[in-house]
Structure 1
């Protein structure tokens, strides 16, 4: 499928919104990138990951339940690093220093995935063509799940609002051990061509995959044995997969969001890009400081999609500006009040799509 085009307007909503946000940062005299709050959080999460990894691998508790609990906490910390360090780093918003952004993004490679593939899939495709079936690879969970009406309905989808949690839990294993390799060898992200890889990108891909296997498989198997490692790694991977999946799904596949289709005749979308983002994206639990802290502000997904190069530490402040602009231009601004309500909306969306 060819990537569609968005409408171009002379006096666009996006231009006015960018002006208001730019005025805010100028008036406050602050940078759009991360600050001490982000760096403190990055240190806490990184040290936590290192401490739990060292303890569970080299000082494994005698109690199997305690060891599994530590693996679960390790999984939560991994997801937290993905949300807070990797995500901002890959968007260039972690720091004003370009090298620090690159280092933050490289954390993804150490944790099993690949930054080059992620940047193409997420930064280039998902952010540009959000919720457009056939282009946005995040919508492609088939055949296991049906996430929008244009996707084929299969008989087992009538149960998808019951088994989705199990499918989401497998994301980490699928991502690290299958989809990265699929993109690498097919040179595609879904239907979209992958940007040409340099020699350094090829070396990085294979080197970091090997490093991940050594630290998360070979070394633990050597210290604790094959079966204990398999149980612990499975618990770890399930937690990483589910936590990361549910946060991203609550932002795009809920009752409130749209799944626009391009005109068959012109291959153009109905709206300008910024309006498209507002229709296809939802915030959730924005008053919950713990969710905001842990998810790296991804519960302010509207602000993130409109301004991906602004660090998430600024989203609560600029959300008020975005909401007011939407009100002034009579454009929808989706904000689901709580985490529970967002999950209910997502399950309801899956249930609705389970029927013809």
Structure 2
């Protein structure tokens, strides 16, 4: 299918934003990448995950301690995804391309595919956020209705009750089904997948085999199948829920829009940057703890406008974006707390389950 086009307008909100943000970095004499701050964070998180894994493999402990450490591993996997893989995939982790590549490839070690993520997230989701039948993030099959443009089934009337469990399954679905579905169908949703090179194929399969060896075969050999299965489910389900809820709070809430392209022209109503403001929301931006853990993805507006800028700079450019929005009369969507954002997401799912 043909992808939608965004109009070029004058004066351009996006051009003004870029000019002001570029000026900020020039005046502050700062790099747009993460520098030592994100590198040190990455080292802490990788060391924490590695240590937790080794302790689980080598130390005899009570069941409740083992399950707690399995849950901690799940949280660390999600946090590494937010802080290392995500910035690396966008080229904002480091000024060195090979370091960004290594950061992005942490996803392969953790069971995913950096190639598939780049196509699905960077290329499609960031360009066509919340656009029905294009943004694959809105496709949860028959299980969830995430857009008013999707058909409503009877089960959706109670989706605001059962979505919690489905989110816990995201990680398992991702590494064991979704990646393979894209790989063999050569499609992401309705769009064709970029042709994979030999290196891309090898990276895909080596990553899957490495994950199976580290997180499945070795633990089964050490602890037995049943113990591994329980710990593995705790790890993956907690990681899946955290990954899901953070990304859902950014786009599927009561105040975000789900615009469609004009059926005749194939164009969207708004220029790209305004579209991003209408389809994206921030949450809990005053919480340094949440910002640190989720890799600045609570500043989702700034991330979507400037994906190649590291998340450590989002609090600073947040002020610039808000000022420009006020000047251009563009709505800036933000929930002051995590609780309010979750409540809005639940309310959104509930309303979609009721409306036709």
Please report the TM-score for the alignment, with normalisation by the length of structure 1: 0.99
Q: Give per-residue Cα distances to partners, 1:138-187, cap 9 Å, x unaligned.
A: 00012100011000100011110000110110000000000000000000
In structure 2, C-alpha distance between the alignment counterparts of 1:198 and 1:11, rounded to whole Å: 41
Residue matched to 1:31: 31
Match of 1:345 in 2: 344
For 1:210-249, what per-residue CA distance to the aligned partner results, in whole angstroms no more than 9, with x for missing partners? 1110001000000000000000000000011000000000
Question: Which whole-Å CA distance do the structure 1 matches of 2:205 and 2:43 have between them?
Answer: 27
Give the SS at the match of 1:243.
helix
- 5 Å-filtered alignment, 1:114-193, equals 114-193=113-192
Task: Tell me the SS of whatever aligns to 2:72.
Answer: helix
Higher alpha-carbon deviation: 332-341 or 32-41: 32-41
CA distance in 2, matches of 1:30, 1:265: 45
Q: Which residue of 1 aligns with 2:8?
A: 8
Per-residue deviation, residues 69-116 of structure 1 (Å, max 9, x unmatched): 100000000000000000000000000011100000010000000000
Instruction: Give the equivalent residue in structure 2 for 1:196.
Output: 195
Distance 1:94 1:334 in 2: 26
Partner of 1:51: 51
Distance in 2 separating the partners of 1:25 and 1:306: 15
The residue number in structure 2 matching 1:277 is 276
Look up the match of 2:315: 316
List alignment gaps of at least 5 residues for structure 1: none
Match of 2:70 in 1: 71
In 2, distance between residues paired with 1:71 and 1:239?
Answer: 9
- Distance in 2, Cα, partners of 1:311 & 1:225: 42
Q: Runs of at least 4 residues of structure 1 off by over 6 A?
A: none
Equivalent pair of 1:169/1:241 in contact (CA under 8 Å): yes
Give 2:229's aligned residue. Answer: 230
Alignment partner, residue 87 of structure 1: 86
The answer on whether the counterparts of 1:187 and 1:193 sit within 8 Å (CA) in structure 2 is yes
Offset at 1:60? Answer: 4.1
Cα distance in 1 for partners of 2:8, 2:57 equals 55
Separation in 2, partners of 1:187, 1:127: 20
CA separation in 2, counterparts of 1:106 and 1:50? 16
CA distance in 2 between counterparts of 1:300 and 1:60 reads 41
Q: For residues 18-61 of structure 1, give each alpha carbon's deviation from its aligned partner in whole angstroms, at most 9, with x where no partner exists.
A: 00000000000000000222112111101000000111122242
Q: How many aligned positions are there?
A: 355
Tell me how far apart the structure 1 counterparts of residues 60 and 168 of structure 2 sit (CA, whole Å): 24
Given that 1:60 and 1:224 are in contact with CA atoms closer than 8 Å, whether structure 2 keeps it comes out as no
**Which residue of structure 1 lines up, in the alignment, with residue 249 of structure 2?**
250
Name the counterpart of 1:217: 216
Question: What is the root-mean-square deviation in Å for CA atoms of aligned residues?
Answer: 0.7
C-alpha distance in 2, partners of 1:57/1:136?
A: 40
d(CA) in 2 for partners of 1:57 and 1:256?
46
Deviation of 1:321 after TM superposition, in Å, equals: 0.2
Structure 2 SS opposite 1:39: helix
The TM-score with structure 2 as length reference comes to 0.99
Structure-1 separation of matches of 2:29 and 2:248: 34
CA distance in 2 between counterparts of 1:260 and 1:173 reads 31
